[in-house]
Structure 1
Amino acid sequence: MIPEEEEPNFGIFKDCLSTSVISRLAPDSGKKKRAIKGRKNEIKPVAKTTTAGDGENDAAELAEFIEYLAEEVFPSLPAEVRLLSYAAVQDDAELVDKYATPLDSALLESLIKPMPLSVADSLCSYGLIQDPSNLDRFFEPALSTYVTAVTTPPPEHTPAVLASRPDGCEICQREHLPLTYHHLIPRQVHAKVVKRGWHKEWELNKVAWLCRACHSFVHKIGSNELLAQELYSVDLLLEREDVQRWAAWVSKIRWKSR
């Protein structure tokens, strides 16, 4: 059971962890999901033998696996990590240095060492890692993203942006997930965009509200220049077949209400 005061950070951690898992198990990733293997007599997702067309069961099983994995890993993290926040790092300069990303290898090792043995076992069984020694490679992106997410200052939204915030992700339509705002014209190319006349300056702050998994996927399908030139609206993103396939697949992966 996750303590009430840790629930918000647990949700963010699960979301960051899901991005790592989903990116490796998405249909185009080439990895085949296998049965889950955890500690004996432990309540955990039950692996199912799925067949073509069994997408709903397959997605439900994956959601259960991610939930199970997050519930195994998060409580093993130090209390200061579980309760990390923007306010906390403002009050403690040592935390800023300690949890600077990319995470120091010694720190990463100290975070991974207390994890239950079932974690490596399950990841190996799912084909997410080849060997327990690969735990650091698997968890580094999720932990780094989590630290960044919980310590980033709250964004200064304009009233228009706040008013436009939807209930769910604008790509997969999943609700009750933490949403991030994706700059439809990436900030890294703002100067180039205006100089070359691709967009007007007033258009630069257009955003889409995306779950972390969809946000990560969007940045994988093209460079900042391509996003700025060709994929600068949600409608344009959703016209792409790869985005449609991704949305149809990831939308089936939903968390159980706590």
Structure 2
Amino acid sequence: MTSIPPDQQRNYEIFRDCLSTALIEKISRPEPKPKRRSKPKKTISSSPSAPKSQDVVADADADVGADFNNTDDLADFADYIATETFRALPSELKTIDYHTYAKDAALQARFAHALPLTGADTPRILPSLDPAVADSLSAYGITHESTQGVDEFLAPVLTAFLATLNTPPRAPRATLAEAEGCEMCGRDWVPLSYHHLIPRFVHGKAVKRGWHRAEDLENVAWLCGACHRFVHRFKGHEDLARRYYTVELLMAEEPVRRWAEWVGRLRWKGR
């Protein structure tokens, strides 16, 4: 498998999450077998009767996931299916973000005019899907043409993916619960506050001069007080807005890394 280009990585991860969720649900939810009627004891058949088709399907569904003996196997399978399916998506859907998607009525009409999608919509969005994807899903018991083929299986995956693209990002304060610690020094036992990666003092200038889009102005990082103050000592507002508007860009600088390593070792003594 070829690697996903950097500009497509974000949407690929969204798509992989949607697909892996569907896979996990499929293999962890066994479908009950239909009840068989008991035959009268006096009835004797000269030859064994062929199993009913619904019993065959139920037996197959009960075996779904038998080939995934550990989570690594499932992760590898999900990666493969997600990668091959994502590569078949139209190019627009591989890189677009919420703000562009929300403003493009034509794009929404083309791909998401009637959510949720059905199996009939899948070939329209994935016209060049590699047949190996369908073969793999069938071979591992994920799909069965008699009940749920590849188009029907992928329809809710595509629905979830498109719905995510059309969901606005949450307000900065709403992301605090997900912060596992200061995004610079890693300390998780100290209070955090959010740092506007594009300082508010230069929001107007940043948009007017084309440094950033208006919808990106609320991007934040959760920092401890010490790291927050260090960042504002490290560079002025304009430099932060133009050159250091992500945590990764900040941490690429040697002085910032040295600071983060040093302050990350500080622990307060209990009293």
> What is the TM-score with the length of structure 1 in the denominator?
0.51
Query: 1:78 corresponds to which residue?
Result: 90
Structure 1 contact 84–147 (Cα < 8 Å) conserved: no
Query: 2:166 corresponds to which residue?
Result: 151
Residue number among 4, 14, 17 corresponding to 2:16 in the alignment? 14
Query: Following the alignment from structure 1 to structure 2, what is the Cα–Cα distance between the partners of residues 107 and 81?
Result: 15
Query: 1:142 corresponds to which residue?
Result: 157
Structure 2 contact 119–153 (Cα < 8 Å) conserved: no
> 3-state DSSP class of the match of 2:85?
helix
| 1:114-153 matched pairs, under 5 angstroms | 114-131=128-145, 134-153=149-168
Residue number among 63, 77, 80 corresponding to 1:32 in the alignment? 63
Query: Following the alignment from structure 1 to structure 2, what is the Cα–Cα distance between the partners of residues 134 and 167?
Result: 40
Query: 1:98 corresponds to which residue?
Result: 110
Query: Following the alignment from structure 1 to structure 2, what is the Cα–Cα distance between the partners of residues 99 and 77?
Result: 11
Structure 2 contact 18–160 (Cα < 8 Å) conserved: yes
Structure 1 segments, 4+ long, off by >6 Å, are: none
Query: Following the alignment from structure 1 to structure 2, what is the Cα–Cα distance between the partners of residues 34 and 106?
Result: 26
Query: Following the alignment from structure 1 to structure 2, what is the Cα–Cα distance between the partners of residues 122 and 167?
Result: 37
Query: Following the alignment from structure 1 to structure 2, what is the Cα–Cα distance between the partners of residues 19 and 124?
Result: 18
Residue 83 of structure 1: how far off its partner (Å): 2.0
Alpha-carbon displacement from aligned partner over 1:94-122 (angstroms, at most 9, x marks no partner): 11222222237664222233111110000
| 1:1-258 matched pairs, under 5 angstroms | 1-26=3-28, 28=30, 31-33=62-64, 50=69, 58-100=70-112, 101-103=115-117, 107-131=121-145, 134-157=149-172, 159=173, 161-167=174-180
Alpha-carbon displacement from aligned partner over 1:3-27 (angstroms, at most 9, x marks no partner): 1000000000000000110001116
Query: Following the alignment from structure 2 to structure 1, what is the Cα–Cα distance between the partners of residues 20 and 5?
Result: 21
User: Structure 1 unaligned runs (5+)?
Assistant: 36-46, 51-57, 169-258
Query: Following the alignment from structure 1 to structure 2, what is the Cα–Cα distance between the partners of residues 31 and 12?
Result: 29
Query: Following the alignment from structure 2 to structure 1, what is the Cα–Cα distance between the partners of residues 104 and 141?
Result: 39
Counterpart AA for 1:108: T
> 3-state DSSP class of the match of 1:103?
coil
Query: Following the alignment from structure 2 to structure 1, what is the Cα–Cα distance between the partners of residues 62 and 23?
Result: 11
Q: 1:105 to 1:27 in 2, by over 3 A?
A: closer
Residue 86 of structure 1: how far off its partner (Å): 1.4
Q: 1:68 to 1:146 in 2, by over 3 A?
A: same
Structure 1 contact 112–136 (Cα < 8 Å) conserved: no
Larger Rg: 2
